[in-house]
Amino acid sequence: MSTVMKGDASGRGAVEGYRVSIPARQHPYTEEEIQAVVHVMRDVDCQTQGPMLAQFQADFAVFTGSKYAFAVDNATNALSLAATLCGVQPGDEVIVPAYTFCASAIPFGKAGAKLVWGDIHPDTWTIDPEDIARKITDKTKVIVAVHLLGMPCDMEAIVKLAKAHGIKVVEDCAQALDARIHGQHVGTFGDFGCFSFHGAKTMTTLGEGGMLLVKSDEDARLVPGIRHNGCCAFPGDRERYWVPAMSSVDMDIDGFWPNNFCIGEAQCALGSVQLKTLSANTDKIIAQNDKLRALLADVPEITANHIPEGYRHVRHQYVFHFDGSAFGKDRNDLLDLLTGKYGIRSIVQYYPLYRYPLFQKLGAGTFDCPVLESWWDNSFSLPMWCGMDDSVLETIARAVKDAVAELKA
């Protein structure tokens, strides 16, 4: 097998030679979205930190039902802001699932915390609250709840644990915009909620973008000054409006170092428009995945995660698990056939983070995650994007069935 994989590292991007391609982006921009960007380019003087930012934040707060929303340049920096505001220091411990994208952990490691890897629940594949309970010590400062693949974590259990121990909860909602538990949006359960509008996510603000939801008034007061080092608008109520310069350095941000985590006005204008169609797009992604699950329901070797009652799981990826142990085959045997013979390009995402040299060399190589170890090596992702019709889904399901039958024979 010597196919050269093109497209980006997430496995997205059309690659020739397959029956089903995976577009780099979930869906094309609408004309209204394009016009919103062009409007900022043509007609708006202010290019950053202006009315579009205020509008996007207000729209996002309404959409998620959050009191405070702060737009930033990406989710990694939303997580960094959360780590700062949680007061993470060297010597603290942060519990973060080992099964996630690297950015869930990096901002906390950079702040000096010891990363304690959480195991997954065998049914939902998100961080297991019982495993968190086992790993809490008197040094635990933060629990990072990652709604990976768009599946909400068990927030009731996690928030209860955190409250009992005086620990902060940061929700990584980068893959879970519009995911909800009994109608309540993820990102509003913990102290902070971090969202991504990267090019591979359901909604993208020109390739990069993010949002931080904040629960407390005190944290919300600090965010603008920590988000931007200098160049905030001069408050209008000063005797001499030009004194002093660099007004945000003049702001009291309680001794924190500020950053530049800002997002531009064109991106914010686009974000506001995208929010209007977001739930409809998410509904399509969910319906497609339901259909794929139904088509594969009679293949006992292939399973999907269990969706608890009342959970809106937005299926950021179409991940399945293959159990070929009865006939001595594993995930790689299946993917060799699927990609090599049946023309269905499947990928494997999010290696347990402790397996990467990056984390090992930074002192985060030890782990105790038996469920993840027994599950991950047989998981894989089928192609997905917003707009797969029934015939595409049937082609994929047929190929999976034929490949499993061939491995069994």
Closer residue to ligand PLP in complex, CB, 48/395: 48
- Least separation, in Å, of the C-beta of 173 and ligand PLP? 8
Closer residue to ligand PLP in complex, CB, 285/337: 285
- Least separation, in Å, of the C-beta of 61 and ligand PLP? 19
The type of residue at 351 is Y
Alpha-carbon gap, residue 64 to 206, rounded angstroms? 21
- Least separation, in Å, of the C-beta of 166 and ligand PLP? 25
- Least separation, in Å, of the C-beta of 42 and ligand PLP? 27
Closer residue to ligand PLP in complex, CB, 191/301: 191
Closer residue to ligand PLP in complex, CB, 175/339: 175
Closer residue to ligand PLP in complex, CB, 75/344: 75
Can you read off the two tokens belonging to residue 236?
């209008």
**Signed CA dihedral, 364, 207, 66, 249: sign only:** positive
Q: Which residues of the shown chain bind ligand PLP in the complex (CB under 6 A)?
A: 74-76, 100-101, 103-104, 146, 148, 172, 174-175, 196, 198, 210
- Least separation, in Å, of the C-beta of 100 and ligand PLP? 5
Closer residue to ligand PLP in complex, CB, 193/258: 193
Q: Which residues pair with 48 in a beta bridge?
A: 264
Q: Regarding beta strands 311-312 and 318-322, do their DSSP bridges make them parallel or antiparallel, or are they unpaired?
A: unpaired
Q: 70 burial class (0-12, 13-18, 19+ CB within 10 angstroms)? A: buried
Residue 49, CA atoms < 13 Å, CB-side half-sphere: 14
Alpha-carbon gap, residue 203 to 209, rounded angstroms? 10
Closer residue to ligand PLP in complex, CB, 76/289: 76
Alpha-carbon gap, residue 201 to 33, rounded angstroms? 16
- Least separation, in Å, of the C-beta of 198 and ligand PLP? 4
Helices 390-408, 331-340: axis angle to 10 degrees equals 130
Alpha-carbon gap, residue 119 to 135, rounded angstroms? 10
- Least separation, in Å, of the C-beta of 148 and ligand PLP? 6
Closer residue to ligand PLP in complex, CB, 77/247: 77
Q: Is the distance from CB of 158 to CB of 193 less than 8 angstroms?
A: no
Cα Rg of the chain, angstroms: 22
Can you read off the two tokens belonging to residue 323?
């159990």
DSSP of 84-149? HHTT--TT-EEEEESSS-GGGTHHHHHTTPEEEEEPBPTTT-SBPHHHHHHH--TTEEEEEEE-GG
Closer residue to ligand PLP in complex, CB, 175/188: 175
Closer residue to ligand PLP in complex, CB, 263/397: 263
3-state secondary structure of 345: coil
Can you read off the two tokens belonging to residue 7?
């497209």
3-state secondary structure of 273: helix
Cβ–Cβ contacts within 10 Å for residue 199, how many? 17
- Least separation, in Å, of the C-beta of 76 and ligand PLP? 3
- Least separation, in Å, of the C-beta of 196 and ligand PLP? 3
- Least separation, in Å, of the C-beta of 293 and ligand PLP? 22
